[in-house]
Amino acid sequence: MSKIQMTTPLVEMDGDEMTRVLWGWIKDILILPYVDLKTEYYDLGLENRDRTDDKITVEAAEANKKYGVAVKCATITPNAQRVEEYHLKQMWKSPNGTIRRILDGTVFRAPILCKGITPYVPGWKKPIVLARHAYGDIYNSVEDRIGAGEKAYLVVEDKEGKEVRRRLVHDFAGGAGIVQGVHNVDRSIESFARSCFNYALEQKMPMYFATKDTISKTYDHHFKDIFNDLYEREYKEKFEAADIWFMYTLIDDVVARVIRSEGGFLWACKNYDGDVMSDMVATAYGSLGMMSSVLVSPDGNYEYEAAHGTVTRHYYKYLKGETTSTNSVATIFAWTGALRKRGELDGNRELSAFADRLEKATVETIEEGKMTGDLIPLFRREGVAPVKLDSKEFLQAIAQKL
Ligand code: NAP
Ligand code: MG
């Protein structure tokens, strides 16, 4: 059998621990036998990040901008314990944060659905894709504790540093308290909106965006205006032609709509809403191992990954020579997402079709009852008794199907 050829390389970002082990197996068992894989390889494993003073992460992100499509393995974000464990020179920043800053992107998280794995919300039949604005609000805020009798102001200066506005936030005459200053910038909100509209068009999914503009009449209202203006100006006709819709509503209204819905839409969220709601939606669909994630930049660069981490507990078992039953589905879908997109951009139909077949084989393997341990308690399908496979057996079962 001749292998599928590629013209442009994928940017391959390797990672850490159990997901690094799965990474190698996925390539060996599911990709290399069928595809003459071309990648530009960047080792973002923690040891190599430390060796290169984290320059490797920046180089990988730059390569992502050059070639357009990357696939990334989960990586350790070091904390104090990791600094000790790996004898690090310093507590390097989150690679995902670095890549996001360089690409200026929006993160979309989508559940991978299989017959037999029912979401905790029984009405959900189709995926709900969550888009989270990854800049500003409380994540870049200034906070302070205010003593009794003090006053807190919002002060604005012009370019020369001259005070132009001053507004009382609160007079704490009645007792001590707290204050918080948050901000956002038009450019970031607009690029977030653009990424969401493009994603909805590409996936032919209708889209909600919601804030609390009735209460936050300037701040949240500005988000609403930017989304609505951009939609009217550049996207309305395209949405109508694609037979999808965009709806702005209040955050509490959208939460009620989401629960009553059958899914099948994109839900764009402000930073905090996206942080909280993406964990709720992911959990409600069943398992972290079944949630894929893609970072899309406004100028059309894509970075595909799994939504979960490096599954450290399983890795320590693996190091002791024990077998693990670690779910590789989200990592497989990171590869298929990247291969399909590469195929689309290069007009390489065979490559995109391979990605479709690999996804189908993965889903059908589970639907026929062969799965990893995390899915066993969730699986209910008449006439199918689920069988727990170890990490490698699961990949081999998919290969058989493929
Ligand atoms: P995690 O790796 O997502 O794992 C947390 C737990 O969730 C696991 O112990 C496991 O539960 C379950 N789980 C997650 N993915 C699974 C899978 N594919 N198959 C089966 N079970 C799965 O999160 P963490 O333990 O909090 O973080 C570990 C490391 O990952 C940290 O160093 C963190 O910095 C990093 N991280 C990286 C990313 C990223 O690169 N995008 C994201 C998050 C975290 P059981 O133990 O009960 O089996
Ligand atoms: Mg969160």
Distance 181 CA to ligand 2 centre (A): 21
Q: State the pLDDT at residue 288.
A: 83
Question: For the CA atoms of 232, 235, 237, 240, what is the dihedral angle to 10 degrees?
Answer: -110
Q: State the pLDDT at residue 399.
A: 98
Give mean pLDDT, residues 197-207.
94
The phi, psi pair for 385, rounded to 5°, reads -95, 120
Distance 86 CA to ligand 1 centre (A): 18
> Two tokens at 184?
């956002």
Instruction: Fill in the amino acid letter for 349.
Output: R
Distance 278 CA to ligand 2 centre (A): 7
Distance 311 CA to ligand 1 centre (A): 4
Q: What is the pLDDT of residues 289-327, one digit of tens each?
A: 899 999 988 888 999 999 899 999 999 999 999 999 999
The CATH class of 1-118+293-402 is: alpha beta
Reduced to 3 states, what is the DSSP secondary structure of residue 316?
Answer: helix
Q: Which ligand is nearest to the CA of 287?
A: 1
- Ligand 1, pocket-test mutation among 75, 88, 308, most atoms within 8 A of CB: 308
Residue 90: DSSP 8-state: S
Instruction: Fill in the amino acid letter for 145.
Output: R
Give mean pLDDT, residues 164-172.
98
| Residues in a beta bridge with 168 | 153
Q: What is the pLDDT of residues 176-199, one digit of tens each?
A: 999 999 999 999 999 999 999 999
- Strand duo 387-388 + 370-371: pairing: parallel
Q: Average the pLDDT over each of 105-109, 145-149, 164-168, 264-268 and give the range with the smallest value.
A: 105-109
Q: What is the pLDDT of residues 1-49, one digit of tens each?
A: 799 999 999 999 999 999 999 999 999 999 999 999 999 999 999 999 9
Of 348, 322, 367, 398, which is closest to residue 114 (Cα–Cα)?
A: 367
Of 73, 80, 131, which is closest to residue 106 (Cα–Cα)?
A: 131
Q: How far apart are CA 134 and CA 103, in angstroms?
A: 12
Q: What is the pLDDT of residues 318-329, one digit of tens each?
A: 999 999 999 999
For the chain, what is the mean pLDDT? Answer: 95
Structural domain spans, the chain: 1-118+293-402, 121-140+183-285, 142-181
Reduced to 3 states, what is the DSSP secondary structure of residue 254?
Answer: helix
Lining ligand 1 with CB less than 6 A are 74-77, 96, 288-289, 305, 308-313, 326-327, 374
Q: Which ligand is nearest to the CA of 279?
A: 2
Give mean pLDDT, residues 55-82.
97
Q: What is the pLDDT of residues 76-119, one digit of tens each?
A: 999 999 999 999 999 998 899 889 888 877 899 999 999 999 88
Predicted model pTM: 0.89
Q: How far apart are CA 128 and CA 282, in angstroms?
A: 9
